[in-house]
Amino acid sequence: MKKYNLLAAAIAVSVAVMSCTNDQTATKETNPITTATTNTTPLLPEEGGVAAHIDSNYHVLPQHDTIGRALSKTNKTVDSDMDHSRPPKPTKRVVGLTVQGDFDGDGSPENWTENYLSQRTKEPIKRDLDAAIDQLQQNIPAQEPLTTLQADQSTLNPLQISNDAYQYGLAYLKNEGDLDGDGADELSYVIDNIDQSNINKMYVVSYKNGVWKELYSFTIRESTLPIYSIKNKERFIHKLEGDKILVKFVNEQAFEEYQIVELKKGNKKPTSNLPMEQRMLVIGDSVTIPSFSIHFQPTPEINKILKEGKEKIEISWTIAGEAQKKIDVTQKDYYNSEEGIIYLKNTTIEMPTDERKITLSGNVSQEAFRALIEPDMEMTLNFYSSRLSSKNNIFESDALIEPISVLRGKTKQIKLAKL
C-alpha cells in the first residue's frame, strides 16, 4: 500500500487578500452567473477548510479556524491506493497506432506507425487485448519486446520508444503541433506498461537534426487516456505563446496540477519546488489561481483622500474567456450566452483604508477552466473609487489585462490620479 505526503496546505483557494493589518478586506461577486465557481473545496478531506498562504509580512484573513490546523499538518499522509490502482481493462485499445505530422520541419508531413517487435525473433508480437495482466507478465518478457515508431520515409530515423520487458506497446500517441517554435511538430506518447498501476508517464519528443530528443515528461493517471473511455478528452498539453506550454500532471503528493513550462529553458520535468503561490493545483472540482500583487501609487491628492477615509480603492477582477465548444456549455451557470463568454470569476474587492498593496489569489471551477479555448487564463482588473464622496468614479488609472502566465508571482504597479 503506497503512502504519499499530503501537499503542504499553503494554498489560497478563495480570494485571499493579504494585509499588514487586521482590517477586513471586502469581496463580493458581481455577476450571478459565476456563483457556481465560488465554492471552496476542503484541502484536508476529513477536516475541510480553506488553506491560506502566509508569509512574514502578510496575514491572510481566515474564513474559519481550520487554517491553523491545516498548516500544522504538513506531514500528513493519505491512502493513495484508490487513485493509483490500474483501472478496468481498456475498451478502446487500438493496436498499431499511427500519427501524421511534419516532425522533421521540411514543410511536408510524414506518416509514422507503431511497431511492436520481438528482439529475439525480429517478428511482430501479436497482442491479445483480452489477456489478463498476470498472463502478459508471464508471457511477454521472454519475447524481449521492442516498441518503435517508423516513418514512411526511409531517410528519417525511427524513434525507439521502449525495450523494457514489461511493456505492451503504446497506449497513447499524438501530434502536439509545434510546441517549441522551431517550425517542426512535436510528438507525445504514453507506453502501455504491463502492471497494475494507474500512474504512468507522458513523454514529449522532438526530431532535431536527424535525432529524436526528449523535451519533457510528466506523470499522468492512465485512466484519463482515451483508450479507457470515448468520454476521455483530456488535454494534457496546451500550447501557449512562444515556447511555453501548460501541462496537466500528477505531482509527487498525488494531486493533479497544471504547470506552465518554458521548453527552451531545458527543464525536462515539472518543477517540484515551485513556490506555493505560483502553483495551479486541482483541489476537488477547483483549480487554484497563482497569486499576484497590485501595488497602488496614488498621487498626493488621491493619497490624502484615501487617508481621510473619503474614498477607498475598489478593484474589479474578472477572469473570462471563450469556450472550446459553445454547445457543451450552453446550459452551464458559468456561461453567458448573450456574450458568448465563460466567466470563471467576476469579483469586486474593496481595499482597506490604509493599504496600498494587495495580493490576490483564488480558485476557479475546473469544469469551466477545461472548457476554455485558451487555458492561459486572462486576468482583467479595473480600479475605481468606492463612490463614498461622489456617485461617480473619481479615480483615473489604466486597466490591467494580462494572462496568468505573465502575472503569476509578479507585483504590478498601478498609478492612481484624480479624474
Spell out, as residue ranges, where the chain has pLDDT lower than 50. Answer: 1-25, 27-82
- Per-residue confidence (pLDDT) for residue 302, from 0 to 100: 96
- Per-residue confidence (pLDDT) for residue 86, from 0 to 100: 63
Alpha-carbon dihedral of residues 42, 43, 44, 47, nearest 10 degrees?
A: -30
Q: Which residue has the cell 483557494?
A: 13
- Per-residue confidence (pLDDT) for residue 39, from 0 to 100: 30
End-to-end CA distance of the chain: 65
- Per-residue confidence (pLDDT) for residue 64, from 0 to 100: 25
Alpha helices in 133-180 (DSSP H): 133-139
Is residue 219 a contact partner of residue 83, using CB atoms and an 8 Å limit? no
Cα–Cα distance, 181 to 256 (Å, whole number): 27
- Per-residue confidence (pLDDT) for residue 84, from 0 to 100: 59
Tell me, what DSSP letter sits at residue 142? G
- Per-residue confidence (pLDDT) for residue 274, from 0 to 100: 84
Q: Which region, left, alpha or beta, applies to residue 186 given φ > 0 means left and ψ of -120 to 50 means alpha?
A: beta
- Per-residue confidence (pLDDT) for residue 273, from 0 to 100: 84
- Per-residue confidence (pLDDT) for residue 149, from 0 to 100: 96
- Per-residue confidence (pLDDT) for residue 3, from 0 to 100: 34
- Exposed, middle or buried by CB within 10 Å (0-12, 13-18, 19+), for 67? buried
- Longest CA span, the chain: 87
